A and B are shown apart, each in its own frame.
Chain A
């Protein structure tokens, strides 16, 4: 079956602009995660959805970052007033119900470059 997909694969934007990054999880996976991976680092947790609700958004760095998952499937990560420090690869992952499997399936990521 299809894996996790993310669009766009690359996004270049100017400082101060607004961007949206999309994640399409594996069908039937109720849990969805966003991570940010800076160069030479491991993925850093941003937000976790269980269904439509954000179960844990403690990793969002500030109020310029926001994510939604209105129908419990596709999710959009939104970044307002982008800064050069936001440049990174943004990873999305999905998994099935907690307690069934703890494996997270990752998408290929969106490389965001803020100029």
Chain B
């Protein structure tokens, strides 16, 4: 079974500073990777996804992530965060099949401080 690790449960960062949220996955086969964001009292929203092609993926709100197959990682980055980026961020992995093979990590709470 696949698993997703998000080592940082909470990341505090000052406004306009860069941030990296880490994600590692267990599968060694072909995978599809996703980052979702959950704002307070809202549903999950897709930030970006890696299906194939360029390993550097750009998403909404200035976020990007880099797929590293050798390190089985898919870290999320933003060069300059805003207060409005405060939210919970979830990494997810799929082997291309739906159902139980779409696995979410435990989440990282990003808190942007003024």
Query: Which chain A residues (75-115) contact chain B, with CB distance < 8 Å?
Result: 91, 93, 95, 98, 102-109
Binding site for A on B (CB under 8 A): 4, 9, 32, 34, 36, 41-46, 49, 51, 90, 92, 94, 96-100, 102-107
Q: B107 is contacted by which of A35, A41, A95 (Cβ under 8 Å)?
A: A41
The answer to whether the Cβ of A42 comes within 8 Å of any Cβ in the partner chain is: yes
Q: How many interface residues does chain A have, given as a range?
A: 20 to 34
Contacts of A55 in B (CB 8 A): 98-99
The answer to whether A43 touches B100, judged by C-beta atoms less than 8 angstroms apart, is no
Q: A56 is contacted by which of B36, B51, B100 (Cβ under 8 Å)?
A: B100
The answer to whether the Cβ of A45 comes within 8 Å of any Cβ in the partner chain is: yes
With both chains docked as a complex, state the minimum distance between the C-beta of B53 and any C-beta of chain A, in angstroms.
Answer: 14
Q: A48-B98, A55-B98, A102-B94 are in contact. Are A43 and B44 (CB under 8 A)?
A: yes
With both chains docked as a complex, state the minimum distance between the C-beta of B28 and any C-beta of chain A, in angstroms.
Answer: 19
